[in-house]
Structure 1
Amino acid sequence: MSAPNSVDFYLEDEHQWNHIFVQPPRPAQLSQEPNLSTPQQHVHAATPRSGRRTSSSQASTRSSFVSRSDSDFSVMSAATSASSVSQTPFNINPVNDDGNNLPCEFVFLGCEQTFHPEEVEAWISHHEAHFTPHGPPRTSICTICDDRTARFSDSSDVYLNWRNRMIHIAEHLSTGESHLRPDFWMIDYMYEIGKIEKKVYEYAMLYTERPACSILVAPDFVPPEKKEKQERASREVHDQAREDRKRAREKTGRTGGRSSAGRTNKGRS
């Protein structure tokens, strides 16, 4: 029987059954309407092929995000339901004082689950559960650095591709870096598979690091003076007195011409 608030998972290497304590989010950290559920607190993967478990004293959480050997491990991820979307304010850098420096990137969906540094496997599985029943995106980027190698794109194995990305980010977090930015590739993917609504997607895509500038205007902005000039140019002015004079001249010209022609003909006759 597992202790409350714990996650058991099996690492295929050496038939080891590891037991990890998962700190649940405190009430103060939860949003008011967290509709997106987080992984269940009691998750048991398939039993080891050896048919036995090692005692909790023998279990060792040997997972380390600074070791590339983790890529040889496989972890059964918990299924997570994403039936609805919370309108939680978008905050990509949740603050916590529990020593949990591995946050869930889906905080803008209402999930504020965090993990301890040694819980990298549970952290990765938690993120994968958010995509259920779909797999991770084929393309994603690091949410901390702008290195050219921090773009992860491999359609042949999306889970390995996602794992490499998460380990890369975990290495950043292990050094104390905490300013996470949104991964627009991942947000696009979440919208495509129907995990987020359009208004949440548009809000998440508003993030920018460009400093505020008072002289910036919208592409279709028209200055007031230019608009006034355009209105004057398109305005049709009707001068009634001028038009009356013009008609009078035209009328006089027509009658004057006919009278002159009549006098000339009479003189000849």
Structure 2
Amino acid sequence: MEEKIEHIVSWLRNQVDQAGVKGLLVGVSGGIDSAVVANLIKRACPDQSLGVIMPCKSSPEDQTDAKQVIESCGIASVTFDLTRTHDVMYSTFKEELEGKDSYHEEDEQIIDANLRARLRMSTLYATAANFKYLVVGTDNAAEWYTGYFTKFGDGGVDLVPLLNLTKGEVREMATYLNVPESIINKQPSAGLWEGQTDENEMGTSYDMIDRHLKGEKVPEKDRAIIEEMHRRSEHKRNLPPSPDPL
């Protein structure tokens, strides 16, 4: 595990050098993936790394967990409460479309959730520009394969150091890095609405996705869900399409 960690840390340092920037930052949600990344960037750039906490209609427990991550790895941090920004932006959007009888209330939950993810991305990039840092993402192999991330939201980053690690491997790394047990054992959630969990939303478990990615046999129901998520999210993993030149 130490070799895996040092490999990623060395890679992060090389990315900083190649980009000609000063350091790295990550959005810290209070979940296991961002906790692992916070530890990794702290190792890579001990004096030039930053954890960014961005509550936005979030559960108070998530902010408490995020602060615990910051304290446990000793990384510098900053907090931006995006609640008011989100309220102004979403209410403006909603009022304008309602005035034209074009607002689709049945899609409100997902529109609202994705807007929050994209506000956080914008905040991370504004902060990165201020410090001359790169934005480090938290997506793991399971999330990348299934497309379980918001396009140009939490998927809008410069570097993705966990992309080749399954969720189970991220947990193993978290244990090795002494991430608090409460964070490791926390039910995965993007915190996008009350009661939301990753696995309930996906309809399968990270364990099943990990097994599928390793080529192991999983129940047909889970295999079908995973492959359908992969198919529908292909656009998230590719550059925007363009026509062939004449």
TM-score (norm 1): 0.24
- Tell which has more relative contact order, 1 or 2 (C-alpha 8 A, sep 6+): 2
TM-score (norm 2): 0.26
